[in-house]
Structure 1
């Protein structure tokens, strides 16, 4: 009984672990950026370290069968390449550019848009059931609009300060001051980054037919590192920008590569395979909560009422969308059960069973 309970809690523990890792990673990365480390170079190091960490892990955990599991068809490789381009390269570059221009709390708050943007993309390509006369469809649409309203509040309304002293480079809201353009640019980068991550989730639907979670994580990190290296070298040709000068920068790169990419990619892929994407999306607010609390404590980031209202609106809209998704899943399960039911009727008439002899004596 105890073993069964522990088995049921494994996806929950995996998601809590993953979002805790991502929150700590963002704080370490922000600390490294404040010391002058390039956010673009950080992405290259992160994906490269993740690849180097996953290679021996795949060999030791799976042996030769794991290496053989890396083989994919041409169509599967093209899908993985596109997924790495959007989810590993574009998403990561824009994510850390937004983190460098804004702060960790802004990044975590806007990450709650992933379920809503995924719903819009899935509906546009026919992967999501949309019926305009259905209450569930309107719940998902209204939840998406609430999330958009939360973004507008988070971006353009500051309000009174709740926590920590004023610091123009660590503001959680914006005002018409010298850093306003940095904040708006950060929001723009993070919105595109969120769209790239949603596109990755859409592409992973057919990819899961070709590759298991662990080889899939290795493919994504490997291709992403090969894609980001020439792009970042073109944007950062100065070799001094590629140097790791402090212990904080070193720890940030190692933690982001080993845990932020390698471990988190695997945990997310595994959890989706056993519980589905809706279950994983439900933990996005946990990521926001952990990041905001840790950022206020360690980096002394300001917390303004506008940021709090915007974050609550985003999380509220998220759960409206998730409720709609849960109702969709419930209806699909009920439909499958109804379709699989077999009606068995038993005739109780005694003359058909006991009233008539099974054998008739023809000699009588």
Structure 2
């Protein structure tokens, strides 16, 4: 029952994340700065998390903060800031559909890093482990297809923009590589995050510290990158909606949920929900943004999803083996003689 609740929460968060990609593209197309968007979003999320911490920890004790924990949170924050910057710039160069397609690489990246960091075990003699390895390779091949091969446009709107297709092709490839890099670093973030939360099991405090550090780092980057003071002025339109949505749902809530899920289920479990967003992203991008839908995106996304489900199937097989082993061990260790004696006495 509790496991189902975690799954429902994770699916909801991923749907909100896809919505963020769509409205972010709308705001960036309107001229909003990538760097300032990240800065404002994290700044607002800090206030939201601060209020949440004051309420939640008013009558609860929290684990003590040590210099080692703060240093590890700072490392997570640096990774998170880089991920947010690369993701926003990548969406600006490509599309929300591309972002959701490339996010399907996250389970594969997380699986590989989890093995390297010994959060996961790999036994190539087992069927589940072989499926996870094959699924990882297939996912990477699909991501390369999405990035390098656009193919023919298959939506009506795209047929009217053949010159634009040639003009933005290089940006599309650059956006794809930026997004792939972002999701690799996000996988690394999940690994480090799990390492931290096991020693400091206070999700809201962790999220508050992380967002505070990201705000400081992103502000420094924005001040260096944006020379025009007018770029810091907000318009009360889609820009403000995008920042509020990003701060509350995509950063504050998503960060807290991911930290919590990493502690409950591990980094690979958190990463495996990303591929669910590709269908939602395609529909929202074509419907609300007028994005061009290309054959390469569909083919690559389908291959990525196949690889993803191979990884998930392999993980399910490994969990089943572990569960069967635990049941077998319990049955062997349970005392049976007294039960037989009791039955004999009753007769």
Question: 1:307 offset after TM fit, Å?
Answer: 0.6
Is the radius of gyration larger for structure 1 or structure 2? 1
- Number of residue pairs matched by the alignment: 340
Indicate whether 1:144 and 2:144 are aligned: no
In the superposition, the TM-score normalised over structure 1's length comes to 0.85
| Alignment counterpart, residue 108 of structure 2, candidates 111, 116, 139 | 116
> Where in structure 2 are the equivalents of 1:222-237 lying within 5 Å?
222-237=212-227
Distance 1:70 1:179 in 2: 50
Distance 1:70 1:262 in 2: 20
Distance 1:348 1:286 in 2: 49
> Where in structure 2 are the equivalents of 1:74-113 lying within 5 Å?
74-86=67-79, 88-113=80-105
| Alignment counterpart, residue 267 of structure 1, candidates 248, 257, 260 | 257
Structure 1 spans left out of the alignment, 5+ residues: 355-364
Q: In the superposition, relative to structure 1, how do residues 338 and 72 fare at CA in structure 2: closer, same or farther (>3 Å)?
A: farther
Distance 2:20 2:326 in 1: 42
**Match of 1:162, SS?**
coil
Distance 1:12 1:201 in 2: 17
Aligned to 2:191: 202
> Where in structure 2 are the equivalents of 1:1-364 lying within 5 Å?
9-63=4-58, 65=60, 69=62, 71-86=64-79, 88-166=80-158, 177-209=166-198, 210-340=200-330, 341-344=332-335, 346=337
Q: In the superposition, relative to structure 1, how do residues 205 and 335 fare at CA in structure 2: closer, same or farther (>3 Å)?
A: farther
Q: 2:128·2:316 contact (CA, 8 Å) conserved in 1?
A: no
Once the two structures are superposed, residues 16-55 of structure 1 have per-residue CA deviations (whole angstroms, 9 ceiling, x without a partner) of 3212211111111111111111111111111111111110
Between 1:122-131 and 1:183-192, the stretch displaced more is 122-131
Q: 1:103·1:170 contact (CA, 8 Å) conserved in 2?
A: no
Question: 1:61 offset after TM fit, Å?
Answer: 2.9
Q: 1:168·1:179 contact (CA, 8 Å) conserved in 2?
A: no
Between 1:180-189 and 1:127-136, the stretch displaced more is 127-136
Q: In the superposition, relative to structure 1, how do residues 347 and 50 fare at CA in structure 2: closer, same or farther (>3 Å)?
A: closer
Question: 1:345 offset after TM fit, Å?
Answer: 5.2
Question: 1:170 offset after TM fit, Å?
Answer: 12
Over the residues paired in the alignment, what is the CA RMSD in angstroms? 2.7
Q: 1:107·1:190 contact (CA, 8 Å) conserved in 2?
A: yes
Q: In the superposition, relative to structure 1, how do residues 344 and 169 fare at CA in structure 2: closer, same or farther (>3 Å)?
A: farther
Aligned to 1:358: none
Structure 2 spans left out of the alignment, 5+ residues: none
Q: 1:170·1:301 contact (CA, 8 Å) conserved in 2?
A: no
Question: 1:141 offset after TM fit, Å?
Answer: 1.5
Distance 2:177 2:267 in 1: 25
Q: 1:164·1:303 contact (CA, 8 Å) conserved in 2?
A: no
In the superposition, the TM-score normalised over structure 2's length comes to 0.89
Question: 1:9 offset after TM fit, Å?
Answer: 4.6
